[in-house]
Every structure is written in C-alpha cells, then in structure tokens.
Amino acid sequence: MATPAETHAADKAILEGKKYISEKLQTYLSQITLQTHLAGFQALSPREHDVLYYLLEGLIVKQISDQLRMKQSTVSTYKERIMNKLEAENMVDLYKKMHWFIQ
C-alpha cells in the first residue's frame, strides 16, 4: 500500500508527463541488476578478469597485450568474451555495468 506522500509524488509525475516508480520497486530492480552483473563478473575466467581490469583502467588492446605479454588477437578474444558474458554492447556500456567494480 502506497503512502499519501508516495501517491502524491506519483500523481505529480504523471501529470507532468513523466513516469513514476516507487522507491521499493527501484530498490528491487537495482538489486536484480546488481545480481545480474555480479553473476556475469563471476563467470569470467582469471585471465578475463585481468583483461577487464586493464580495460576499465582505460588501456587499449595493444597496451593490454604489452602489459600481459600476450598477442593482441588473444586480448581481443578475451575482450569479446568479456563483452558477451557481461552483456555489454560497447565500452561505455561496460563501464556503466561495472561502475561498482571501478569504485
């Protein structure tokens, strides 16, 4: 059951043409999102964790290959696997999904 204040906030948002999601639902959705990202993170191999670390540090494939002493094609393969496992469409999406890891 919504409180009067919550009902008022929802009414106001709707009248302004906005969407409203209760705090309880926002919290629930955040937990599900975090669990999903955490599951993807835990599915990474140790080497994928290494590559992910450097990707989040802003290094490019060439720099990562130098750092980890592996071929650029291997780093690219790891990067592709990371993107798939974490369901990231691009690097910006990866950063957004892993913001809790960076902090």
Q: Which of 103, 4, 97 is nearest to 44 (CA)?
A: 97
What structural domains and CATH numbers belong to the chain? 1-42 (no CATH), 44-103 (1.10.10.10)
Q: Which residue has better confidence, 30 or 79? A: 79
Where is 27: in which H helix or E strand? Answer: helix 23-42
pLDDT digits (tens, 9 = 90+) for 4-63: 777 777 678 778 887 767 677 666 556 655 555 566 677 889 999 999 999 989 999 999
Distance CA 40, CA 31 (A): 14
Q: pLDDT value at position 17?
A: 82
User: In the structure, what pLDDT confidence band is assigned to residue 103 with cuts at 50, 70 and 90?
Assistant: low
Report the predicted TM-score, pTM, of the whole model to 2 decimal places: 0.63
Determine the Cα angle at 2 with ends 16 and 12, to 5°: 10
Distance of CA 56 to the CA centre of its chain: 11
Distance CA 78, CA 89 (A): 15
Q: pLDDT value at position 63?
A: 97
